[in-house]
Chain A
Amino acid sequence: EADIYQTPRYLVIGTGKKITLECSQTMGHDKMYWYQQDPGMELHLIHYSYGVNSTEKGDLSSESTVSRIRTEHFPLTLESARPSHTSQYLCASSVAGMEGYEQYFGPGTRLTVT
């Protein structure tokens, strides 16, 4: 079944550690996005990509980085985790086109930095 997957679902890690949050989609979408969201709160766009080798920063400044080497894969990396990074991270994807289209969200990774 076509879907968007995120791993791990939950992560508790110490300050200063490097972490990578994985996102993969089997929907054949060109566009992918990362959002940061405290539970039930506002969705903040932190990174997006229009396709392979394309990455852009979003509206919310983030110390994370992303890469897009394969169409289906859009990992997010934090070089040195801090307690302020504690949040939920949602990955999303959509088709490309001149009109707006639905964004499909992954289940999220809940990150806690101690």
Chain B
Amino acid sequence: GENVEQHPSTLSVQEGDSAVIKCTYSDSASNYFPWYKQELGKRPQLIIDIRSNVGEKKDQRIAVTLNKTAKHFSLHITETQPEDSAVYFCAASNGGNNRLAFGKGNQVVVIP
């Protein structure tokens, strides 16, 4: 099955700086890559996703890039704000069964 690894496990950034989280996946058939944000005590919520026919997608201060050859994808958060502090999960799916293989999560702390 699919195996998704997420690095680093914890990331501290100064407010206003950029944060980058990288994930690697093992199944070359995977074609859907979402990112979820989970604030303390809240449910995970999708913040951005990308499909394998696209190399980059951007939504305001967040962007995701995908390198299918290297089998990795990254989340980029620019101009970080305190409300960006959360656990971020990457995931991968090969579509047909829509099962998501999640990474272990990354704790992002934005220091004011």
Q: Show the binding face of A for B, using Cβ within 8 Å.
A: 31, 39-43, 45, 48, 50, 59, 90, 94, 96-108
Q: Mark B30-46 against chain A: 1 for CB-CB distance below 8 A, else 0.
A: 01101000101111111
In the bound assembly, the distance between CA atoms of A67 and B19 in angstroms comes to 42
Confirm or deny: B25 has a beta carbon within 8 angstroms of a beta carbon on chain A.
no
Confirm or deny: B1 has a beta carbon within 8 angstroms of a beta carbon on chain A.
yes
Q: Is the CB of B32 within 8 A of A105?
A: no
Q: Is the CB of A100 within 8 A of B46?
A: no
Residue numbers in B under 8 Å from A31 (CB-CB):
98
Q: Is the CB of A100 within 8 A of B98?
A: yes
Q: Is the CB of B44 within 8 A of A43?
A: yes
* Contact A99:B44 (CB < 8 A) given known A43-B102, A59-B1: no
In the bound assembly, the distance between CA atoms of A31 and B100 in angstroms comes to 12
User: Among the interface residues A43, A99, A100, A108, which one has the most CB atoms of the partner chain B within 10 A?
Assistant: A100
Q: Is the CB of B95 within 8 A of A99?
A: yes
Q: Is the CB of A40 within 8 A of B43?
A: no
Selected interface stretch from B55-63, B72-80, B86-94: B86-94
Residue numbers in B under 8 Å from A43 (CB-CB):
44, 89, 102, 105
With CB as the reference atom, state the residue of chain B lying closest to A97: B98
Residue numbers in A under 8 Å from B42 (CB-CB):
107
Q: Is the CB of A100 within 8 A of B1?
A: no
Confirm or deny: B68 has a beta carbon within 8 angstroms of a beta carbon on chain A.
no
What are 28 of the A-B contact pairs (CB < 8 Å)? A39-B41, A40-B87, A42-B102, A42-B104, A42-B105, A43-B102, A43-B105, A45-B99, A50-B97, A90-B43, A90-B44, A94-B98, A96-B98, A98-B95, A98-B96, A100-B31, A100-B32, A100-B94, A100-B95, A100-B100, A101-B32, A101-B98, A102-B49, A103-B46, A103-B98, A104-B46, A107-B42, A108-B43
